[in-house]
Amino acid sequence: MPRHYERSYGRSRALSRLVELVGWLLVVTGAAAALLGFAAAPGLFAAGTEAGLAARLLGLLPGLLLVAAGFGAVQQSHGARARYDSAELSRDLLVQARLSQGNAPPVKMAKPSSGPIVAPPRAVTSVDRPEPVLRAPVPRRTGS
């Protein structure tokens, strides 16, 4: 039975939905523009000249670019929501792992009104001071 969890990242999810909606609008608009561009290609040339297949394909190009941009926006919004779900589930797995090892549950985040979280002071020992790193000199090239 799947466990239902509280979704977070609400604003990011809403923005992702908006990007997806804009993406689908671009796909529909691009498809319409491609069809109109293909049909309108003969009228773009001087009277009495025949528009060839190359002209019709050029008429398709702006619409196809809009369709590609729309599908890209939809793909990015789906990827973003997958990352949000992954972050939430990873957090839940971390809590479960800590509880199964007998460790104390994780410390909850402090509310903004409760003030900053300050670590207790500790004594500085010689272990805390790293030794200087000695590096071998790098030979320089001489111009010949």
Query: Domain ranges in the chain?
Result: 10-107
pLDDT of residue 118: 53
Q: What is the pTM of this model?
A: 0.59
pLDDT of residue 127: 54
CB atoms within 10 A of CB 35: 13
**What does the chain come to in residues?**
144
Annotate 6-30 with b (16+ C-beta within 10 A) or e (fewer).
Answer: eeebeeebeebeeebeebeebbeeb
C-alpha count within 13 angstroms, C-beta hemisphere, residue 10: 1
Mean pLDDT, consecutive 10-residue segments, the chain of 144 residues?
63 93 97 89 59 77 95 96 89 81 59 51 55 62 67
pLDDT of residue 81: 92
Distance CA 59, CA 55 (A): 6
Only one residue has tokens 């320089």, namely 140
- Which pair of structure tokens corresponds to residue 42? 């003969």
Distance CA 53, CA 43 (A): 13
Specify burial of residue 84 (Cβ count, 10 A radius: 0-12, 13-18, 19+).
middle
DSSP structure class, residue 48: T
